[in-house]
């Protein structure tokens, strides 16, 4: 089976490709070729038991999406995107990559005349206030950011192209992925990871919002598992509702910090510096706090049950335990 991953140089894309080298299969099907595509050329994988090629190109440029699907991959993981903060800061770039790039990929598959599976990475940013304490999967879109709007349109395109049998699509609405490894990115939600990751390294971190902020989280490990499961799932179970709320954990910032103390000690948590930012607080106040992911859980998707578990997974995966 041939696999294409767009956005393969990103954190989730890279982790998924590395896990694919270890697992070798998606469900019961063996991988024979992996194409890793991104605007920045992905680093080579070590020890892959199948053919791997890396491509560096902007998916929103004319003809690029067609080149990505030229060898007719059976599963396409579409992870390429401009993250939330950058999409808000650069309106043109956000729509060019997140919307035009997505549409060009879907159209390239339609023109190629075959029916692969497409796993589309969406986001809980498609929802916005006012919303209930727990957001159902079928709750009306009301995005409050350009990024959320672009992902909502992508979900609609995915459903329509699937309805017309141009491909077999599944959308997964990622929670905020925390704790993200590496350096801070331009995502507006980046501070959620910063206040855990940096103190664990003995470095200070800035908290720009109040500790009573509640949000919906899953770890990078859970995100990778979501992708594997979406690639193997019987999509006949989805019907016309092609996008699923992914399981996650609802926690306040205060609960996150308490978990950090429990795992790493009070001195570690003292490295967090409170520095309120009204603009970030206003943005976060419009983010979902808890989602109903019961449909996804019934279909076999799972995530962590406590924030301590998320912290432990970060330490195990990024610091060799």
Q: What is the pLDDT of residues 194-241, one digit of tens each?
A: 999 999 999 999 999 999 999 999 999 999 999 999 999 999 999 999
Determine the pLDDT at residue 186.
Answer: 67
SS3 content of the chain, % helix, strand, coil (to 5): 40, 20, 40
The CATH number, out of the four listed (3.50.50.60, 3.40.50.720, 3.40.50.12780, 3.40.1410.10), of the domain defined by the range 2-177+218-245: 3.40.50.720
pLDDT band at 284 (very low <50, low <70, confident <90, very high): confident
Average pLDDT over residues 84-105: 95
Average pLDDT over residues 268-293: 92
* Letter string b/e over residues 81-100, b meaning 16 or more CB atoms within 10 A of that residue's CB: bbbbbbbbeeeeebbbbbbb
Q: What is the pLDDT of residues 18-49, one digit of tens each?
A: 999 999 999 999 999 999 999 999 998 999 99
Q: What is the distance between the alpha carbons of residues 96 and 305, in angstroms, rounded to a whole number?
A: 37
Average pLDDT over residues 260-274: 97
More confidently predicted of 163 and 185? 163
User: What's the mean per-residue pLDDT of the chain?
Assistant: 95
The CATH number, out of the four listed (2.40.128.50, 3.20.20.140, 3.90.25.10, 3.20.20.410), of the domain defined by the range 190-216+249-288+305-318: 3.90.25.10
Residue 246 burial (C-beta neighbours within 10 Å; 0-12, 13-18, 19+): buried
* Nearest to 162, CA basis, from 111, 113, 117: 117
Determine the pLDDT at residue 131.
Answer: 85
* Residues involved in catalysis: 147
Every domain of the chain and the residues it spans: 2-177+218-245, 190-216+249-288+305-318
The answer to whether residue 187 scores a pLDDT higher than 80 is no
The answer to whether residue 184 scores a pLDDT higher than 80 is no
Q: What is the distance between the alpha carbons of residues 117 and 232, in angstroms, rounded to a whole number?
A: 10
pLDDT band at 129 (very low <50, low <70, confident <90, very high): confident
CA 55 from centre of chain: 21
Q: Is 94 left (phi over 0), alpha (psi -120 to 50) or beta?
A: alpha
Q: Do domains 2-177+218-245 and 190-216+249-288+305-318 have the same CATH topology?
A: no
Q: What is the pLDDT of residues 77-91, one digit of tens each?
A: 999 999 888 999 999
pLDDT band at 321 (very low <50, low <70, confident <90, very high): very low
Q: What is the distance between the alpha carbons of residues 93 and 98, in angstroms, rounded to a whole number?
A: 8
């Amino acid at each position: 089976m041939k696999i294409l991953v767009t956005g393969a140089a990103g954190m989730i894309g890279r982790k998924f490709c590395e896990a694919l080298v270890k697992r070798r299969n998606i469900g019961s099907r063996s991988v024979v070729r992996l194409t890793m595509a991104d605007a920045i050329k992905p680093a080579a994988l070590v020890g892959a038991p199948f053919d791997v090629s890396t491509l560096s190109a902007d998916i929103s440029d004319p003809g690029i999406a067609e080149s990505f699907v030229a060898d007719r991959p059976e599963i396409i993981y579409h992870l390429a995107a401009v993250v939330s903060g950058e999409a808000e800061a650069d309106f043109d770039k956000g729509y060019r990559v997140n919307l035009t790039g997505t549409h060009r990929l879907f159209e390239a598959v339609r023109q190629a005349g075959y029916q692969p599976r497409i796993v589309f990475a969406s986001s809980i940013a498609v929802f916005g206030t006012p919303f209930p304490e727990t957001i159902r999967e079928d709750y009306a879109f009301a995005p409050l950011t350009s990024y959320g709007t672009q992902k909502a349109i992508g979900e609609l395109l995915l459903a329509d192209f699937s309805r017309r049998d141009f491909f077999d699509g599944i959308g997964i609405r990622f929670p905020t992925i925390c704790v993200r490894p590496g350096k801070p990115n331009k995502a507006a939600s980046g501070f959620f990871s910063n206040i855990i990751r940096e103190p664990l390294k003995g470095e200070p971190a800035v908290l720009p919002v109040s500790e009573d902020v509640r949000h919906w989280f899953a770890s990078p490990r859970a995100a990778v598992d979501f992708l594997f499961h979406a690639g193997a799932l019987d999509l006949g179970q989805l019907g016309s509702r092609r996008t699923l709320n992914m399981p996650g954990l609802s926690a306040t910032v205060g609960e996150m910090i308490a978990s950090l103390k429990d795992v790493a000690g009070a001195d570690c948590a003292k490295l967090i510096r409170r520095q309120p930012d009204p603009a970030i607080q206003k943005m976060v106040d419009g983010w979902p706090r808890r989602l109903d992911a019961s449909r996804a859980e019934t279909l076999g998707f799972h995530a962590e049950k406590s924030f301590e578990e998320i912290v432990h997974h970060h330490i195990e995966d990024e610091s060799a335990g």
